[in-house]
Amino acid sequence: MTNQDVTVYESLANAVDDSRWAFGTGFEDPLAGVDVAMPSGVDGGDLSAYATMLGDDALILSHRLAEWITRLPELEVETAIANVALDLLGHARMLFARACVAEGSGLGEDDLAYFRDAHEWRNVCFVEGPDADFAGLVVRLALFATWRLEVFSRLRESTDPVLAAIAAKAAKELAYHREFAAQWVVRLGDGTEHSHQRAQAALDALWPQVDELFSASPVERRLQATAVDPASARGEFERVIAQILEAATLRCPDASNLPGLMGRDGMHSDYLAAVLDEMQSVARDHPGATW
């Protein structure tokens, strides 16, 4: 990393310690004290769109994971999933903050989180659906974290030092997310006949959605050195997932040629609207409130 990258990263890593963890008007700016100057030659609108789509991924999956609190099989697992959800929430806050500065309209992270309708969100559809059981949760998390870690590892070289610093910080947490989920996939897949069947069923259901993760949006193609072409992460993703599935004695499903939905283009499943109805209800009922 350059000296500027190191300075930005140190600013993020040493941010004010605020024990509050939920979104809410009046919270500390996650980029307070960070040099957020736009990199030369980068379009602010495109950078904002890119940071927003990455933030959307993190926030929706964070909400889905939080839905499992009090329903998980062990207290230790519940604590771990809560921490993963909080990590992703933190990623979303930083990415939304970067998006707002780059766009320059004066909007804040709460505006992006609470006051956009489903067609305005750009998260991948992979994070939208509910998980039928614990096997579904850990298989989805293993696939997502493996993909996301490869993308963010590359994003550390972004020409935008703020994105690079966010990615460097997030990659460390994503490595833990992948390890935690992979261990449970192996434990279930190579466990009892029932747990194996549940894990395989979850993998079969989720695998057709994997292709979307590696499809570049027009924004990603335009940003080039500032963004990451997700297709560049596919080889390492497949290598890591193959190792996990082999240890779990799970069969990798056949590749799917189904067209599917493209969340980066604003095309979503019906699940997203239901998630947003729940997530946004308080903020929309009490706009401008502080809690």
Read off the pLDDT of residues 215-266 as tens digits, 9 standing for 90 and up.
Answer: 999 999 999 999 999 999 999 999 999 999 999 999 999 876 555 668 999 9
pTM: 0.88
Longest CA span, the chain: 57
Q: What is the rounded CA–CA span in Å between residue 243 and residue 166?
A: 28
| 40-285: CATH topology | Ferritin (1.20.1260)
Query: Residue 1's pLDDT is what?
Result: 54
Q: Provide the mean pLDDT of the chain.
A: 90
**pLDDT tens column, 104-146:** 989 999 999 999 999 999 999 999 999 999 999 999 999 999 9
Q: What is the pLDDT of residue 23?
A: 39
Quick: pLDDT tens for 165-199: 999 999 999 999 999 999 999 999 999 999 999 99
Burial of 51 (0-12, 13-18, 19+ CB in 10 A): buried
